[in-house]
Chains A and B, each alone.
Chain A
Amino acid sequence: MANIKIPTPLRAYTSGQSVIAVSGGTVAEVLEDLTAQYPDLRPHIYDGDQLRSFVNVFIGEENARDQHGMATPVAEDAQLRIIPSIAGG
């Protein structure tokens, strides 16, 4: 299964879990699985059916937005992460 790393600001909605095993062949499927496991997360990364525009999903080093967006294929052992907007200084 692929893994997705959850940034600190969103861990409040994943019972504090930082890395979550997810299944799915595309970014869309993986996020669907993630939000099915943690429904409280859904409103924070989706606006209706759309991924919120400030949410960056990376597969390895690459931003899904620079690939094929939600249709970007996800390999069986892929390491995904959500990169948060943080502004602290």
Chain B
Amino acid sequence: MAVPVVTIDPAAVKLSREEVLRYSRHLIMPEVGMAGQQKLKAARVLLIGTGGLGSPTSIYLAAAGVGTIGLVDYDTVDESNLQRQIIHGTKDLGKPKVESAQETLLDINPYLNLKLYNVPFTSHNALEIIRDYDIVVDGTDNFPTRYLVNDACVMLGKYNVYGSIFRFEGQVSIFGDPDGPCYRCMFPSPPPPGLVPSCAEGGVLGILPGTIGTLQATEAIKLILGIGKPLIGRMLLYDALDMAWDTIKIRKNPTCPICGEHPTLTELIDYEQFCGVPAHDRSSYGEDQAKRPVPAISVREFAGWRSSGQAFFLLDVRDPHEAEISQMGADALIPKNVVRQRLNELPRDLPLVVYCRSGARSADVVRWLEDEGFTKAVNLAGGINAWAREVDPSLPTY
């Protein structure tokens, strides 16, 4: 197994007169100094994800003078990103995220050597992409890619500066040290599909990735400079609601399948299959082994039912605060996570039309209802957002 040591030769690069001026607040600190700033310039950091976490990490690493930064992201800038992905702006809507990020980063620091990977990060390209970097910063948004980043970093002997967020909570740690634990030591197996919502489903405080991403940038800089006490074998936990920080210990698991004494994982695997969920929305995972299809009704067909006076029962399975954003006259609001305890409130003799924001949660509910003998349950395809787009434009989409 390779040993991750950030060995960067400060003599490999020189700072120009302009760079000396630019980095003067670093140069006058003994912990950085000229040698440290040259190390930063010689360093190569790969950021996986240019979203909530990748925005602040890349901005601060570029500003601090990290010489080479790689950005991996296949996505384009969407309006719903701008609440937290501060590297992108309104003018960038529709652009590839890596290109939008490039404009911001080169404006901040034109001396930066930026490499863009406008592709999904997969088992096929992970090793090839990571190989050329000293440190990896994990700012991805899904479990399959988290395990992929971990395994690839352990295999190649790279530090993996981990950050993860959900609603008001954040986690930060460094994995991949030969004597320290890896992500799998802490999380040996992923949660079953559907049990832990993503930020797209569960939401995230817009500022939270700023807090966690800047901590990742701090740890990356410390690793490059070789100063301070890195977050190896420790995980920092942040709760924005309580405004509380805690540190827990993570121990290396001797039986870890990738970093343990007798590793059984010697090559990258199919991480979507491992986690049971697709890694990104262009993935074909699940198309063939999809969950059982459920009966569905289009929003236009449902509009026809309504205008013809057909009898039905309309069930909203979103969370109550989502109903404050948009409503379409539901007969009942029973959030998905409690619907199985409240089946007695639902009619079995009427068509039971189930909806959520975009149709995914309601499809799960229709599947459960069928299992419970509700033969007339149907999913409103595309959810209330489709209804807003195609039938009732007075409603907002979210």
Contact = CB atoms under 8 A, between A and B. Distances in A.
Contacts of B171: 83, 86
Nearest to B145: A87
Interface residues of A, number: 25
Contacts of B247: 61
Interface stretch (A4-12, A24-32, A68-76): A4-12
Interface string A46-89: 00000011101010011100100000000000000101111111
Given A8-B168, A18-B242, A53-B188, A87 B248 contact: no
B187 A85 contact: yes
Given A58-B248, A61-B249, A89 B190 contact: no
A87 to B, nearest CB: 5
Nearest to A13: B337
Nearest to A8: B167
A85 B192 CA distance: 11
Given A54-B190, A54-B191, A86 B251 contact: no
A88 B204 contact: yes
A89 B53 contact: yes
Interface residues of B, number: 49
Given A63-B248, A84-B196, A89 B163 contact: yes
B187 A54 contact: yes
A61 B233 CA distance: 11
B51 interface: yes
Contact of A85 (B196, B337, B338): B196
B249 A63 contact: yes
Contacts of B373: none
B371 to A, nearest CB: 15
B297 interface: no
A44 B191 CA distance: 10
B54 interface: yes
Given A9-B166, A44-B195, A85 B251 contact: no
Interface in B181-204: 186-192, 195-199, 202, 204
A86 B188 contact: no
Given A53-B189, A89-B138, A89-B139, 5 more contacts: A9-B196, A61-B247, A84-B166, A87-B164, A89-B53
29 contacts: A8-B167, A8-B168, A8-B169, A9-B166, A9-B197, A12-B335, A18-B241, A40-B341, A54-B189, A54-B191, A56-B187, A58-B248, A63-B250, A66-B251, A83-B171, A84-B196, A85-B190, A86-B165, A86-B166, A87-B141, A87-B142, A87-B166, A87-B196, A88-B166, A89-B138, A89-B139, A89-B140, A89-B163, A89-B164
Interface of A: 7-9, 12-13, 18, 40, 44, 52-54, 56, 58, 61-63, 66, 81, 83-89
